[in-house]
Structure 1
Amino acid sequence: MNKLNFKIILSFLKYLKPYWKKEAVVWLLSFGIAGLSLAYPYIAKLVVDKAYQERNWTLFIELLVTGGLVFIISSLFQVVSNFLREYIDLKVRFDLQKIIFQKIENLPYSFFQLRPTGEYIYKSLIESSQVSDFITSVAPELFYIIPKFLLIFTILFFINWKMAVFIFVVAPVLNIPTFFIARKVRKQSEKSLNSSQDILETARESFSNMQLVKVFGKEKKENRRFVKQMIKNIRLSIISFRLNAFSSFLESWANKLLLGLITLYGGYNIIKGQISLGSFTAIMLYINQLLDLENLFVGFFVHRLNTGLVSVRRLSEIMNSWPQELEDKNTRAILLSSGEIEFRDVSFGYYPKTPILEHISLHIKSGSSIGLVGNSGRGKTTLVSLIVKLYQISEGEILVDGQDINLIKNSSLRQQIGVALQKPILWNDTIRNNITYSILSATDEEVLQAAMISCAYDFIKELPRGYNTIMGEGAVRLSEGQKQRISLARAIIKKPKILIIDEGMSSLDSQTEDSIIDNIKKELKNTTMIVISHRLSTIKKVDRVYFLEKKDKMSFGHHEELLHQNPQYKELFASQIEEEHIKIKS
């Protein structure tokens, strides 16, 4: 085990600190169990050399009673130790999973777009359990193995130093091949864990996109994809089984050879009268304990340590390597008073050499409604995402209420901005809880008002349980338009200073959409509203239109002004009229 692995293990052992008293009891019990187990071979020596040789029945009974008491005390120690270890494991697992989940949630939004969701689920739930089991077993097992190992050798030297030296030299030599295979076991364990993670991600992706799978009739394709991952995992597991089996074979072979050599050497010494039968019996029993320790030691280091290290290192990535959503130490919470927005020479790209936006400047007045228009892929969603600090700009400044958003706490800024997306994300919960997700303290009156503004009130009251209706996973019991209206209600209920509707009404008819915009303007008069829409009937209702022509060019003005002054805008508008005309005819 190299220094890096040792440091990583130490970094996780700190999670035992809150339970150090119970852990200390486990260590003491482990030491006690190790010490008590050493009594059996010595009792056997006394039985053979004293009770049998002297035919002393009283001594024989005394030794048996002593052995029985040792067994009872040792068993009690073991029961208490096991209970405490399970308790500590559960507590540490809870702490780890809580911290890992929090760490993952604090990752930058851009990071979630680079890695599959299954990886986060696997690391936060499954691997954290494996790490918990590993770190809660490290100290007790080592505290049991090492002292007992040293005590046995001390006793063996006391009984017969020649036999002790013989065992001390031969045993490590016979186990050299087993330790050589340890590195391969660790590498194979990492491959198997990655494969298990891929299976989880494949299943999650297929089930999450079941509607797409069904409409394209791709059930068999998804089944083949899942089976392919399973086959890969099975193949990797078979290789792991082979390595473990080979390791066990080498271990068994080494143990049997060691026993054979000790029996040969011990028998020679008995015949020569250099050791008593009782001493040899004790030595053989101690050797059996040593072999048990060796099996435990090898099993711990070759199997448990290697597989545990894989999980520890993978979780360490989250704890230390994965970038957290950092905030400047000078950031502070503020209360937005107007909702005025200004972009000053802003540039941004998901990758350094491929900018999405370049040197964009714009100014949105407080309480105004603006439409953000442009061809698909121009960066409209990216632009509004920068306002809520989902991404970090590479150049320029974004100001809200005249203050640089980089100096405003993320939580403070986001609490005062409402967002409704094209694909609404709804929880497997009641409609009421989905609407109040943005403000848990909302009253029933506020829920009703938000539903009315978003034109969701009528269809909700027709449901058997109304606002207490439980929606299925992904809210499959509602139409897409109904989901969008609930999503809008969730954004509206907190009465945000800035409301962003990113294609959030695309599944609604024009009449309903017009009603919602009118309601927002009436009920949220001081709210700055940004609407991204390809539907030009919507754009006509806003105060001003911002037309993102290119990544470095933005035009703005009233709809009629842009229509007459900007050929590209006119072309976009003409194509929209043609599309809507075709829809009406069909």
Structure 2
Amino acid sequence: MARNRFDIDENLESPFDIKHFRRAMIYIRRQKKPMIVAFLLSALSAAIALSAPLILQHVVDVTIPEKAVGPLFGWSALMLATIVVSVVLATIRSRIMTRVGQDIIFEIRSDLFKHLQQLPFKYYDDRPQGKILIRVVNYVNSVSDVLSNGIINFILEMLNLIFIAAFMFAVDVRLSLITLAGLPVFLGIMLMIKTRQRRAWQAVSNKSSNLNAYLQESISGIGVTQIFSREKRNEGIFTRLAANFRKEWMRALRFNALIPFSVDNLATIVSALIFLVGLLALGPGEATFGVILAMSSYAARFWQPILNLSNLYNSFINAVAYLERIFETLDEPVTVSDVPNAKELPPVKGHVRFDDVTFAYDPGHNILEHLSFDVKAGESIALVGPTGAGKTTVVNLISRFYNLTGGQILVDGHDISQMTLKSLRSQMGIMLQDSFIFSGTIMDNIRYGRLDATEEEVIAAAKTVCADEFIREFEQGYQTEVNERGSKLSQGQRQLISFARTLLADPRILILDEATSSIDAKTERLLQQGLNELLKGRTSFIIAHRLSTVKNCDRIMYVSDKGIAESGSHDELIARRGLYYRLYTAQKMEA
């Protein structure tokens, strides 16, 4: 799929329409009360500010000609008061809307994170992590101001236009019509660039997503980059992606800059026409100098809301590109979820049965076909075979990380597709080859899957998997802080901590996917002693390439050709001299 590449733009699966904006209004309505207060403060501030030109007109036409010094000071004090009150009200409103904007960010981001945690593995298989992260962080930041201040400012600027137009027509109708004459020109410009401007900001969104995806991938793989001396090559790729982003950004800004440029020039032309018509065309006695000054002031004020509205329009066009991405993520279907009326899986004994199971990651390319086998409670099953044969797929299906293409998987006779995910997975312990360590203490990492575990239980689990000794060698012991992904730990230490985390959950069904691949032979022998005790009474599925680690399993299944090619104990398969025998013999010769 194109969207799993950092150098290919993502195509929107659904274009923006008014429904998206209605959905955004859900977050706005939750902040209704503070937004109403902010709106009233803004309206009051604007109304007070609009009285200033009338005061100026009266002072120029009446107070100054009459040389009334006392009233002049009074009118000056009143004008100063309008400015002070207007600024104070605007400041209060700004503080309210800052809080509203942050609350909107919090709610959208929380909804996104909640949804991302529910999405199936398939979603993450198809996308770079960077393209997901940018939606939760950057895009949400970009739309917050439009969804908070933008709505109020739009209403206020529209009201400002109405108020200013009313004041203008009250002062002089003919000069007011001159002010309005520039509107058709401005609207024509807006209509002309609307579609191209939106596409330009969609392109910016694409290039930003690509850049972020490559940056995240490069940071995660910095070790491999340095091992193979790929720094210069990677710099070239990053430079190309950054240059593409800069190119699209500058192109989008040209459309944005065209609007204030048009407004400024139209406002200047209109102001000049007011003076020209007022002083020359109307003639003496037709319009006083105070009227002309008031009208030029109102004309400037009239075009200011239009400029503000055009800036809001720019912000809205930018935000639309981000809203599309945000809602596309929120609309991503949770394909692996609890079915309607899903039941709680009761405490399990561990009987697992595959009944004619077929599975494909992508339609038409089956990984498993008509797979059937039965595992009794307490049995230990080893899955072996060539890379890519489907061993990990089998255990992923038991945990229901993917939906089946066909057939059923039953645990203690219960179809797992009809059980709640939480009740199923809470009774399983899964140890993957990629041992992920979270930032925090070693104690926190082991306790991750069972938060109510005591320190004694955590330490007991660590001792069982032979992790206690190396943990106590750290100065802070179990309280040692580790970085994201456990960069301070060796791969073997990370696996042992993950082992302890899995075993602490005390699962009835245990899945070990190459769980000992990074552990040295001595530690593995010690670990095996603890595991043999732990596996008693539990159903276990063990994937291993080192066949010496699975010789003692109750049954070994050789996965090949979309199914189970051979099945039996180690001795039975050796005696059969088939696929397992050849694989085991080859490993012994290599050793």
Q: Deviations over 1:205-238 (max 9, x none)?
A: 1121122122222222222222222222222222
| Counterpart position of 2:98 | 86
Q: Deviations over 1:465-511 (max 9, x none)?
A: 21112223322222222211111111111110111010111122345
Question: What is the distance in 2 between the residues matched to 1:143 and 1:271?
Answer: 38
| Counterpart position of 2:452 | 441
| Counterpart position of 2:22 | 10
Q: Deviations over 1:371-415 (max 9, x none)?
A: 011111101101100111111111011111211111211122111
Q: TM (normalized to structure 2)? A: 0.93
Counterpart of 1:271 in 2: which secondary structure? coil
| Counterpart position of 1:331 | 342
For structure 2, which runs of at least 5 residues remain unmatched after alignment? 1-14
| Counterpart position of 2:465 | 454
Question: What is the distance in 1 between the residues matched to 2:336 and 2:145?
Answer: 29
| Counterpart position of 1:146 | 158
> Are 1:351 and 2:355 matched, yes or no?
no
Counterpart of 1:501 in 2: which secondary structure? strand
Counterpart of 1:339 in 2: which secondary structure? coil
Question: What is the distance in 2 between the residues matched to 1:452 and 1:170?
Answer: 81
> Are 1:234 and 2:246 matched, yes or no?
yes
| Counterpart position of 1:465 | 476
| Counterpart position of 2:550 | 539
* Contact 1:175 1:254 survives alignment (8 Å): no
Question: What is the distance in 2 between the residues matched to 1:346 and 1:123?
Answer: 36
Question: What is the distance in 1 between the residues matched to 2:556 and 2:335?
Answer: 36
Q: Which of 199, 218, 223 is equivalent to 1:187? A: 199
Question: What is the distance in 2 between the residues matched to 1:452 and 1:344?
Answer: 38
**How far apart are 1:535 and its partner, in Å?**
1.1
| Counterpart position of 2:222 | 210
Q: Which amino acid aligns with 2:161?
A: F
| Counterpart position of 1:170 | 182
| Counterpart position of 2:131 | 119
* Contact 2:430 2:502 survives alignment (8 Å): yes
Counterpart of 1:54 in 2: which secondary structure? coil
Please give the residue correspondences for 1:48-447 in structure 2 after superposition, counting only pairs within 5 Å.
48-301=60-313, 303-323=314-334, 325-447=336-458
**How far apart are 1:259 and its partner, in Å?**
2.3
For structure 1, which runs of at least 5 residues remain unmatched after alignment? 581-586
Question: What is the distance in 1 between the residues matched to 2:515 and 2:122?
Answer: 21
**How far apart are 1:170 and its partner, in Å?**
3.1
| Counterpart position of 2:11 | none
**How far apart are 1:178 and its partner, in Å?**
4.2
| Counterpart position of 1:526 | 537
Question: What is the distance in 2 between the residues matched to 1:249 and 1:88?
Answer: 31
Q: Which amino acid aligns with 2:274?
A: I
**How far apart are 1:183 and its partner, in Å?**
2.9
Residue identity over aligned pairs, in percent, reads 28
**How far apart are 1:564 and its partner, in Å?**
2.6
Question: What is the distance in 1 between the residues matched to 2:495 and 2:225?
Answer: 22
Q: Which amino acid aligns with 1:561?
A: E
Greater shift in the superposed pair: 521-530 or 87-96: 521-530
Counterpart of 1:477 in 2: which secondary structure? coil
Q: Which amino acid aligns with 1:375?
A: P
**How far apart are 1:322 and its partner, in Å?**
4.8
Q: Which amino acid aligns with 1:190?
A: Q
Q: Deviations over 1:500-535 (max 9, x none)?
A: 010111122345334433322313422111100111
Counterpart of 1:349 in 2: which secondary structure? strand
Question: What is the distance in 2 between the residues matched to 1:159 and 1:269?
Answer: 17
Distance change (3 Å), C-alpha of 1:397 and 1:174: closer
Question: What is the distance in 1 between the residues matched to 2:199 and 2:182?
Answer: 29
